[in-house]
Amino acid sequence: SKATVSVLYCFSPLKMMKQVVFCALFAIATASVDKTVIATPDAPGAIGPYSQAIKVNNNGAIMVYVSGQIGMFPNGTLASGGIVPEAQRAMTNIENILKAAGSTMDNIVECTCLLADLSEYAAFNGVYSKFFSVAPPARAAFQVVMLPKSARTEVKCSAFAE
């Protein structure tokens, strides 16, 4: 879908400085943004009212926002064996979603990692680090009380696309 905001005119009885700011905001508000839902059978379908990812083209700046992925296979079963196989599957899901969106793991600029237990942080990092062949993205990691399907980890990210 395309979201376009427009203003009919850029005239105002405001003082000159305020009018310049208003006109700058007008230019930003009239930017055209294309929003595309990304869905692939190579990652689990959403288990709630959200998309696997959204691809946004904002006047040529293309970004992909990947929803949180747990260690679930496309058939809906959770990887068994704890944090390592779950982290491996969650990161593989992200990789598959990015591929469907025309991007790669190397294009990720930010990740948020949720863990059910921060004592598994080192094991998680061991898996996570293998998915980045160049400088790893900016990241935050948090321990949470519970994740969907009683998963051990969930990862969401933002990446640029070509």
Q: Give the pLDDT score at 133.
A: 78
Asked whether the predicted pLDDT for residue 21 surpasses 90, the reply is no
Over residues 64-107, the pLDDT tens digits come to 999 999 999 999 999 999 999 999 999 999 999 999 999 999 99
Question: 56 and 33 in contact (C-beta within 8 Å)?
Answer: yes
**Cα gap 21→146, rounded to integer Å:** 45
**Cα gap 92→124, rounded to integer Å:** 14
Mean pLDDT of 29-45: 87
**Cα gap 72→81, rounded to integer Å:** 12
**Cα gap 115→154, rounded to integer Å:** 7
69 by Cβ neighbours in 10 Å (0-12 / 13-18 / 19+) ranks as buried
Residue 58, SS3 per DSSP: strand
Q: Give the pLDDT score at 14.
A: 45
Q: Give the pLDDT score at 32.
A: 78
Asked whether the predicted pLDDT for residue 29 surpasses 90, the reply is no
62 against 14, higher pLDDT: 62
Mean pLDDT, all residues of the chain: 86
Q: Give the pLDDT score at 13.
A: 45
Spatial CA neighbour of 115 closest among 97, 90, 134: 90
